[in-house]
Amino acid sequence: MTSAPMLFQPIQIRDMTLKNRVVIAPMCQYTAVDGLLNDWHFVHLTQFAMGGAGLIIVEATGVEKRGRITYGCSGIWSDAHIPPLKRMVESAHRHGAKIGLQLAHAGRKASIQRPWEGDAPLTEREFAKGETPWEIVAPSAVPFGPGWLTPHALTIAEIGDMIDAWVKAAKRAEQAGFDMIEIHSAHGYLSHSFLSPLSNRRTDKYGGSRENRMRFTLELAEAVRAAWPASKPCFLRISSVDGLEGGWAIEDTVALAIQLKRIGIDVIDCSSGGIAGEGKVTLPKSTPGYQVGFAAQVRREADIKTQAVGLILHATQAETILRSGAADLVALAREALHDPYWALHAAEALSEDADYKGWPIQYGHWLGYRAKGLFGGRPGSSDTDKAKTLGMAQR
């Protein structure tokens, strides 16, 4: 008897057991109003649960109002945000999936347009509809790029307040019933901008040496981990490399991951890039699985679970990543948008669910007939007679 594909072997992380290793990565929808999720998000997230994913992580959710990327971003800075988030949790659970929330602060990349409106600083077009810039913050008063807002450099006292905002957000996530949370420390947002020497020009205990630049992220992770139930996992997403000469490197990520494990972080979600600065670009080309090597190195050298992400397209590719020991989980984003039922199709491709038993019964019942060349099976229909004949022939 052959073992099940590793992609469909359950995995336990603290008290959370995932039915498979397929994760839906956080994907900002830029469709919230005042940070409140709505019907769009409900359908968007529910389809992934129906599609068989083991874990769904809700989009980057601002721990404070000025931490949003755009006016359309999700938020959790008040108790008013809990009910719509709880609705997402309950729906995912009804369909057999676990669900988490990515806690985020956009830092110096906040207060910009939605991607399809320009993905750049707000203009007169946005001002005319009441979307005016707000104060943004960062470790240093260095704008993300030419023409971008100059951030306010956080004082040490304000850093303490910022960490407190994350702690309060984690407690609200627990009230909403999430199974796990993820700290967003990637893609040039606040936590990442403390780590990178390209964006952190501080001269106090939060800047300068690598140890000092890691301080904010480590203090943040420790405070959030302490506020979050010990029985539930806490992930951290990181840009494994800045991808710019002189920036944060994979060796830095390994060093950070070792300390994060001691604090109690359970999984490092290994992405890359998102920072800005001068210098030679060293990011790998965006080819299938181009970031998997980062997850493999962190897993091997820091002895911590990792999640691989980045153009993971096919079931066999995902299975190979897991079998090779490169990662413990594989995460999909745009591929899941293209096929919300990716996990179920992967099970079919790996011969894990040839009879559609893993599908919602409302779909699987009919797909099972279709797979046998039958199209219904209702009493009195010709398909019923075909089904009986097929059954007799198989005896």
Task: Identify the pLDDT of residue 279.
Answer: 75
Q: Cβ of 83: how many Cβ atoms within 10 Å?
A: 12
Task: Identify the pLDDT of residue 375.
Answer: 63
Q: What would the two tokens of residue 231 be? A: 């029985």
Radius of gyration, CA atoms only, the chain: 23
Catalytic residue among 189, 206, 341, 356: 189
Burial of 201 (0-12, 13-18, 19+ CB in 10 A): middle
Task: Identify the pLDDT of residue 393.
Answer: 45
Assess whether 356 carries a catalytic annotation: no
Task: Identify the pLDDT of residue 284.
Answer: 87
Alpha helices by DSSP H, 61-207:
82-94, 124-128, 156-176, 190-195
pTM over 0.75? The answer is yes
Residues of the chain whose pLDDT is less than 70? 1-2, 374-395
Q: Cβ of 94: how many Cβ atoms within 10 Å?
A: 11
Determine the 3-state secondary structure of 57 from DSSP: strand
Number of H helices, E strands in the chain: 13, 13
Task: Identify the pLDDT of residue 382.
Answer: 60
Question: Does residue 62 contact residue 68 with C-beta atoms inside 8 Å?
Answer: yes
CA 245 to chain CA centroid, nearest Å:
26
Task: Identify the pLDDT of residue 276.
Answer: 86
User: What is d(CA 356, CA 368) in angstroms, rounded to the nearest whole number?
Assistant: 6
Q: What would the two tokens of residue 255 be? A: 């060093």
Burial of 290 (0-12, 13-18, 19+ CB in 10 A): middle
Task: Identify the pLDDT of residue 395.
Answer: 47
Task: Identify the pLDDT of residue 370.
Answer: 86
Question: Does residue 57 contact residue 44 with C-beta atoms inside 8 Å?
Answer: no
Q: What would the two tokens of residue 232 be? A: 């539930």
Question: Does residue 319 contact residue 7 with C-beta atoms inside 8 Å?
Answer: yes
Q: Whose structure tokens read 């947002």?
A: 189
Task: Identify the pLDDT of residue 4.
Answer: 86
Question: Does residue 308 contact residue 291 with C-beta atoms inside 8 Å?
Answer: yes
Phi, psi dihedral angles at 169 (to 5 degrees): -65, -40
Q: Strand 98-104 vs strand 55-62: parallel, antiparallel, or unpaired?
A: parallel
